Amino acid sequence: MSQYPPPGNNPPPGNYGQYPGQPPGGYPPPGGPQYWQESPKSKGLAITALILGILALLSSWTVLGGIGFGLFALILGVIAMVKSRNGSSGGGGMALTGVILGLLGLIIAIVVGVIGWNFFKDNGGSDFLTCVRDAKNDQSKIDQCQQDWNQKIEDKYSVTLTPVPAPTN
């Protein structure tokens, strides 16, 4: 019930009991003014984009994690930003942050993947893959391919990939 009469049915001046007069002391009427309150807007999509963006950045060194999480964060973040601008949902700042983090994770994962692939190719990775393909599921030949490739990397970088077993007493 409102404190004011509906429009068009204004009673004659005076206090008729149905419509209370102004309370003394200039205080607002009991119960306070009636304001319309908007229901809170959903932020689920923006929160999801933010979480996926954080995961993309944290897992960007794994390439697949960075690309997967980054793409989903980017897509969901853009959708959440559009909905936020239309006013149908909230969390525009979280959505933008999710897009930025997802994009960073995606870029880092792509750079790591390109560097890793170039390292693999520059160190005889193509020869290793050809050797494994030609081995045709013969485990002894596949093991020989791996040993040859390991030896090639050990010779090129003067490192030991497989530690020498310690002598037992």
For 126, the 3-state DSSP assignment is helix
Short-list 128, 122, 130, 127, CA closest to 157: 122
Higher pLDDT, 116 or 160: 116
Could you give the CA distance from residue 100 to residue 110 in angstroms, rounded to a whole number? Answer: 15
Q: What is the mean pLDDT of the chain?
A: 83
The backbone region for 48, taken as left when phi is positive above 0, alpha when psi lies in -120 to 50, beta otherwise, is alpha
Residue 45: is its pLDDT beyond 70? yes
Could you give the CA distance from residue 128 to residue 124 in angstroms, rounded to a whole number? Answer: 6
Write out pLDDT tens, residues 86-135: 988 889 999 999 999 999 999 999 999 999 999 999 988 899 999 999 99
Short-list 73, 82, 79, CA closest to 102: 73
**pLDDT value of residue 36:** 62
Global pTM reads 0.65
Residue 11: is its pLDDT beyond 60? no
As a whole number, mean pLDDT of residues 3-22 equals: 57
Could you give the CA distance from residue 22 to residue 15 in angstroms, rounded to a whole number? Answer: 10
Could you give the CA distance from residue 10 to residue 114 in angstroms, rounded to a whole number? Answer: 78
